[in-house]
């Protein structure tokens, strides 16, 4: 599975993570606000090793830095990789709070899902979010994803959303 190195939308450029993205990555993973429903800020000592893993992720995982095209300013991270169930691909995302509520996350996620289904040949994409994260639940529903399961994990109720299942390719 190979994912695009770059994906463009009307307002955004999603590109592969690079070494120069470390401080942005470090800041996003350390933000209590961004990580409120993601288990809290990643401890400082764990951020660099995690960054190195993301830089060298396998070809069946996509990690993109989301930037505003008009300003070349990094505003978020999107990841597409195997879910803990080992059978589905999961999309996850983290955006800087200054850019919440402007439709950037919706625009980026919509395009990554489209790419994964239409160009990379995946049959289904899931997203797992805390039930308490109403903004994320609303975003996923807006993208046409439907709730398929609720589970207790990480000390909270999680909702798993999914795109429509596509028939296998011949």
Residue 17 inside a domain? The answer is yes
pLDDT of residue 154: 84
Pairing of strands 89-95, 125-130: parallel
Q: Is the pTM of this model over 0.85?
A: yes
Q: Which of 28-37, 133-142, 156-165 has the lowest mean pLDDT?
A: 156-165
Residue 37 inside a domain? The answer is yes
Residue 44 inside a domain? The answer is yes
- Provide the number of structural domains found in the chain: 1
* Mean pLDDT, rounded, of the chain: 93
Residue 161 inside a domain? The answer is no
Closest C-alpha among 69, 81, 55 to residue 1: 81
Give the CATH number of the domain where residue 39 resides: 3.40.630.30
- Model confidence over 79-88: pLDDT tens digits? 999 988 888 9
Residue 132 inside a domain? The answer is no
- Model confidence over 1-42: pLDDT tens digits? 678 889 999 999 999 999 999 999 999 999 999 999 999 999
Q: Which domain holds residue 41?
A: 6-124
Residue 168 inside a domain? The answer is no
Residue 166 inside a domain? The answer is no
**pLDDT exceeds 60 at position 148:** yes
Residue 36 inside a domain? The answer is yes
């Amino acid at each position: 599975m190979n994912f695009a190195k770059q994906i463009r939308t009307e307002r955004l450029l999603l590109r592969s993570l690079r070494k120069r993205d470390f401080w942005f990555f470090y800041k996003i993973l350390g933000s209590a606000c961004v990580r409120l429903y993601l288990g809290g800020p990643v401890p400082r000592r764990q951020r660099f090793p995690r960054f190195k893993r993301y830089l060298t992720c396998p070809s069946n995982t996509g990690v993109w830095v989301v930037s505003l095209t008009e300003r070349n300013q990094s505003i978020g991270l999107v990841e597409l990789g195997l879910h803990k169930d080992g059978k589905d691909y999961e999309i996850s995302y983290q955006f800087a709070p200054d850019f919440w509520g402007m439709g950037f996350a919706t625009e980026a996620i919509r395009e990554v899902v489209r790419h994964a289904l239409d160009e990379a040949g995946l049959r289904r994409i899931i997203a797992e979010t805390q039930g308490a994260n109403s903004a994320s639940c609303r975003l996923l529903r807006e993208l046409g994803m439907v709730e398929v399961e609720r589970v207790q994990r990480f000390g909270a109720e999680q909702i798993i959303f999914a795109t429509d299942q596509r028939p296998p390719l011949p």
